[in-house]
Structure 1
């Protein structure tokens, strides 16, 4: 164990000064906090102080020991390194230098189960470990991100005021809140990223339909820019307009037409789908978005089938452009709602599963600004959850009414796209989820009958209690399976 040196004066430390770590450190300093700096490559520390030293009070260090010694107690250290083994390595190096009650914060995109493991291990050593999801990219890290911390109440009493000061603010409220113990923060960040996948997929499909209908990239940009002034106002719609308007300097063509159509992923979307399956929470809208990215990158499949399989040629004929734009805006709003609904359902289920007591209204509130999925819609969602204990976002009065008012337009968009051969897995899948949710009876009854036939898996009846099995290979009489 170590004690702070007499020179200890830093309020918070940041180790790992790549773009996100550097900008977060600058953000803390701009908010009046004295910030200790450390990086394995010393030049990153020196360059930050040289370029941005006038933004606040920085305490550079040349070793971990010097870094730790420069911090006031309880020491608070934010780790901004690559998730996985790199984070474990830094934790192992720091732990012997810390005292009981000190706080380590992982600000990377860690898997929430890793966070739960680390929190348990460090708690047994008397240390506080906080998994904090940080969203907003490099600009958000500097100007105010959405921050989703988990961990102990004790840690948040020290850490919370610093994080809240650095976070984005809406109506005087910070986009940061203590979400629950151990892995709660990183779980919420994972779901945030899953929703982000679904939102971007729906946006991309809307652009594809506009393109098939004859809209140029600039015309599509103008559509998104108009949408961003209304109910669809959001960061992703805003930057969609910017991306579509960008012209390549070398060719004079829209840049979007020159970018390879292979969408990449870093893992959080995939984790969201995997954990949804583990929790038994249906999240097909997010799943469709993840698989759409996987399909876009499957060059062997696309090389074998592109231009070979028979289907419509994307021609839409003479469409009413204004009517199509209105319908697409409605469909995009509905798809966004379905993505939020399924993501928030995951958070609700995980909170019960892991005893986190996450408040869904708070989650929606801290997503209102700073993060990638920030949108006008989130205030509506937060207000709905704050007013009542909802089993699902879909039954919130204003959301239910909004879906009802837009669902015919949603159906027209999907029908138009399918007829023209334009793939819209996000828009059509979200509509299928909506119709499944509102159905009073599903064909799962036949699935259960089939399962019983080939595997004697049994079924339940609507008219009496208990489990039953039909003797399919015998006299087909029914017997009780209880």
Structure 2
């Protein structure tokens, strides 16, 4: 099958390569001329046979919106556009409506697999009308892992990115649980080989998983993670998952806590924890650290006066 691929970065480039290895004709476009097959979107569209299929792998938000808007002016009725980036599912519905007015089909695909997808295949969560999905099945079959799993036509437009959003929310929670377990194991002098402990869990336990395999790999490269800084960004899908949970009144305490933990990781000196320390000092006289690295007066410090009102004691 012939397909146009827009965006040839880490994911898009590897996906294009996997498709080519499977025998598909891929015409790729990227702003980097060194990896691009064509000079622009108009040339890409001209190179494709009708009905055309174009897969967009650019950052979510304005870059995706601008690309789809331009494609809407270049493509013809009967063509199909795939958004394989990390777009919000509500944006998918708007894009589908705009393209449908021009007779162009729209399919949203949540893609998981990262840098390992070229070798192992990509898990694909697809949303869209059945006819458009059927047209793209040769591409999906080439991209997915071998076997019966790794692909789902999850539902109507928006379902693919909604499913991927929830997938990433679950990922946040699992990663946070592993991280907290690692920190606790490191904090005790009872466990003297933390990396080996995690490695032992890879077989026979209920928490064995690819994330656990990657954790073991990370500890093999840096046993105490001393080469890393405790900062974790979020791609946006964790936030969208929590927002969707609020919209549908579905409690997500673990995923929400994991998202907030990532926010906390970006604060070298947490403003909220400053207030917690100040309040502990006020009601209990607990010692606090000053910005100069010295301990301020607590209740047991000479000259300290932190006696609370009677009704506040306890």
What interval of TM-score do these two structures reach, taking the shorter chain for normalisation?
A: 0.7 to 0.9
Residues 200-239 of structure 1 show CA distances to partners (whole Å, capped at 9, x for unaligned) of 00000111111112267x8222122111112322111011
Residues 319-360 of structure 1 show CA distances to partners (whole Å, capped at 9, x for unaligned) of xxxxxxxxxxxxxxxxxxxxxxxxxxxxxxxxxxxxxxxxxx
Matched with 2:6 is 15
Matched with 1:265 is 234
Alignment RMSD: 2.3
Contact 2:76-2:102 within 8 A present in 1 as well: no
Runs of 4+ in structure 1 off by over 3 angstroms are 302-311
Higher helix share: 1
Contact 1:194-1:272 within 8 A present in 2 as well: yes
Change (3 A) 1:84 1:141: farther
Contact 1:15-1:79 within 8 A present in 2 as well: yes
TM-score, length of structure 2 as denominator length:
0.83
Instruction: Kindly indicate whether residue 134 of structure 2 is the aligned counterpart of residue 192 of structure 1.
Output: no
Instruction: Kindly indicate whether residue 201 of structure 2 is the aligned counterpart of residue 232 of structure 1.
Output: no
Q: Can you give the 5+ residue segments of structure 2 that lack an aligned partner in the other structure?
A: 285-314
- Return the alpha-carbon distance in structure 2 between the equivalents of residues 101 and 183 of structure 1: 20
- Return the alpha-carbon distance in structure 2 between the equivalents of residues 115 and 166 of structure 1: 21
Contact 2:18-2:142 within 8 A present in 1 as well: no
Contact 1:164-1:174 within 8 A present in 2 as well: no
Contact 1:220-1:241 within 8 A present in 2 as well: no
Matched with 1:125 is 102
Deviation of 1:257 (Å): 2.7
- Return the alpha-carbon distance in structure 2 between the equivalents of residues 120 and 62 of structure 1: 28
Contact 2:230-2:265 within 8 A present in 1 as well: yes
**1:38-437 alignment runs, 5 A limit:** 38-45=29-36, 60-141=37-118, 143-169=120-146, 172-214=147-189, 219-230=193-204, 231-247=206-222, 254=223, 256-301=225-270, 304=274
Give the counterpart of 2:21 among 27, 30, 35.
30
Which structure is higher in RCO with an 8 Å CA cutoff and minimum separation 6?
Answer: 1
Matched with 1:468 is none
Q: Can you give the 5+ residue segments of structure 1 that lack an aligned partner in the other structure?
A: 1-9, 46-59, 248-253, 312-482
TM-score, length of structure 1 as denominator length:
0.55
Contact 2:59-2:85 within 8 A present in 1 as well: yes
- Return the alpha-carbon distance in structure 2 between the equivalents of residues 260 and 305 of structure 1: 24
Change (3 A) 1:33 1:210: same
Deviation of 1:28 (Å): 0.7
Deviation of 1:263 (Å): 2.2
Change (3 A) 1:99 1:142: farther
